[in-house]
Amino acid sequence: MFEERKLKNGIRVVAEKMEGMNSISMGVYVGCGSRYENDKNNGIAHFIEHMLFKGTGKRNAAAIAYDMDELGGQLNAYTSKEYTCFYFKVLSEHFEKGLDILSDMLLNSKFDPDDIKRERTVIDEEISVYEDTPEELVFDKLQEMTWGGKGLGYEILGTHKSIRGFDHDMLKAHLKNNYRTDNTVIACAGNFEYESLYKSLEEKFGGVTPVSYRSRLEKNIYTPAKTTVSKDIEQLHMCLAFPSAPYGENTYPLSVLNAACGGGMSSRLFQRIREEKGLCYSVYSTYSSYIDTGIFMIYCALNPSNFDEALTICREELKEIKAKGISGKELGRIKGQLKSSFLLQDENTASRCSKIGRNTLILGRTPTNAESLGLLEAVDESAVKELANSIFDFNKMSISLVGNLKGISV
């Protein structure tokens, strides 16, 4: 069972003691992502994430890496459209040292101009890698167009042009204005004592001063779109999309619907398009939920000559779910699959830390395991069918294509 408290300055802490574990995982979740950016500073949240690994007054970049490796721990970070996360996992006996490293990075990074210049080159190359990866590009272009190129439509990495404008003052100002006490959650899971944990966190983060400024949240409305990128490659990468539910709304029916459509090897799209027809190697469905909206996507990579048949099958299967829903047998199988995945993830301190951190930041609370499993069990055939009819409106379907477009007509 987890506990929620606040540090004296308002930073929320959610912690769960896991008996019998040898490790502690800790994550700092900050409500600062690409949807809070604009045309000029697009990519700045991700750039800051990189810069916090480049050195403080106490440690340079090498020392940060060496100090964590000496503990045998893991230290990393990632940026999403709505938040940035910094996390580590160490043996319980090394928690104080791990905390010292992470808090030093977050609170004392220098943003040296020479480091900024070098990291700009690194991120420029990272952007090029994504542009050269069709599976990434097809999703990015889809979301860019459906969200109107603003807010959720911004690339997390930014663009080659936008990152050239970042300097020390701009990065530090964005950090100060967006890494705030009221939009930060510290999550911990593993083997620890609660009071000792809170004392340590208060010592490291309690001195952060609250600020009132925050970047404006760009309101996004899904708009059906078509986007194509021609590349001289063998395959055609296809992504279909529909507007979906925001974070925390219809979570469990949506998980079931995704699993039925393309969420695994037993899903309808995988079985029909790959196993029965042999039209492709990779096909799956996925969804992204945000604070106020969401998007449901279907991906397939195939020979261009198979495009029309694969697209037809996708429409047929979605129409089938809308018309008939899923059977009780299929629902039972999917519930068993999701329940097992849910419980297996909770055996890992890092997974548990991530779950309670994200939920607390975005939803404001974390459901208990019993509550989550109860809500999953309560999903019935009618709820899945109703959600399918709500989401799979073909008048709102978007399509993104990347690859060999010869002979392709959308």
User: Could you tell me whether strands 74-79 and 226-230 are parallel, antiparallel, or unpaired per DSSP bridges?
Assistant: unpaired
The runs of H, that is alpha helices, within 52-193 are 61-70, 95-108, 113-131, 134-146, 160-163, 168-178
CATH architecture, domain defined by 226-403: 2-Layer Sandwich (3.30)
First-to-last alpha carbon distance for the chain, in angstroms, is: 51
Q: What is the dihedral of CA 156, 157, 159, 165, to 10 degrees?
A: 110
Q: What is the dihedral of CA 189, 192, 196, 202, to 10 degrees?
A: -20
Q: Is 278 left (phi over 0), alpha (psi -120 to 50) or beta?
A: left
pTM score, whole prediction: 0.95
- In this predicted structure, what is the pLDDT of residue 4? 94
DSSP state of 193: -
In the numeric block, the tokens 């379907």 are attached to 397
- From 264, 249, 239, select the one nearest 336 (Cα to Cα): 264
Q: How many CB atoms are closer than 10 A to CB 16? A: 21
CA distance 390 to 165: 42
Q: Residue 15: what are its φ and ψ, rounded to 5°? A: -135, 145
The verdict on domain 2-205 having CATH code 3.90.25.10 is no
Task: Give Dmax over CA atoms of the chain in angstroms.
Answer: 66
Q: Select which of 3, 19, 37, 49 is catalytic.
A: 49
- From 165, 128, 131, 186, select the one nearest 37 (Cα to Cα): 165
Q: Residue 101: what are its φ and ψ, rounded to 5°? A: -65, -50
Asked whether 338 and 259 are in contact (CB, 8 A), the reply is yes
User: What is the sign, positive or negative, of the torsion defined by CA atoms of 370, 196, 71, 204?
Assistant: positive
- In this predicted structure, what is the pLDDT of residue 253? 97
In the numeric block, the tokens 């800790």 are attached to 26
CA distance 6 to 1: 17
275, exposed or middle or buried, with CB in 10 Å at 0-12, 13-18, 19+?
A: exposed
- Cα distances (angstroms) measured from residue 381 to each of 330, 331, 362, 385: 10, 7, 28, 6
Asked whether 189 and 353 are in contact (CB, 8 A), the reply is yes
What percent helix, strand, coil does the chain show, rounded to 5?
Answer: 50, 20, 30
Tell me the HSE value of 364 on the side-chain side, using a 13 A CA sphere.
Answer: 2
The two three-digit tokens of residue 407, written as one number: 């002979």
In the numeric block, the tokens 């699959």 are attached to 337
User: What is the sign, positive or negative, of the torsion defined by CA atoms of 236, 296, 84, 73?
Assistant: negative
- In this predicted structure, what is the pLDDT of residue 369? 87
Is 16 a known active-site residue? Answer: no
User: Could you tell me whether strands 236-244 and 398-403 are parallel, antiparallel, or unpaired per DSSP bridges?
Assistant: antiparallel
- From 63, 159, 86, select the one nearest 120 (Cα to Cα): 159
CA distance 188 to 43: 28
**In the sheet that 398-403 helps form, which strands lie side by side, from edge to edge?**
226-230, 398-403, 236-244, 294-302, 280-289
- From 345, 356, 369, 347, select the one nearest 19 (Cα to Cα): 347
Instruction: Please tell me if the domain spanning 2-205 has the same topology as the one spanning 226-403.
Output: yes
Domain ranges of the chain: 2-205, 226-403
Q: What is the mean pLDDT of each run of 10 residues along the chain (410 residues)?
A: 92 95 97 95 98 97 97 98 98 98 97 97 97 96 95 97 97 94 96 96 94 78 96 95 94 96 95 96 96 97 95 97 95 95 90 95 90 94 97 97 88
CA distance 150 to 155: 9
CA distance 140 to 129: 13
The two three-digit tokens of residue 365, written as one number: 């609370």
User: Could you tell me whether strands 226-230 and 184-190 are parallel, antiparallel, or unpaired per DSSP bridges?
Assistant: unpaired
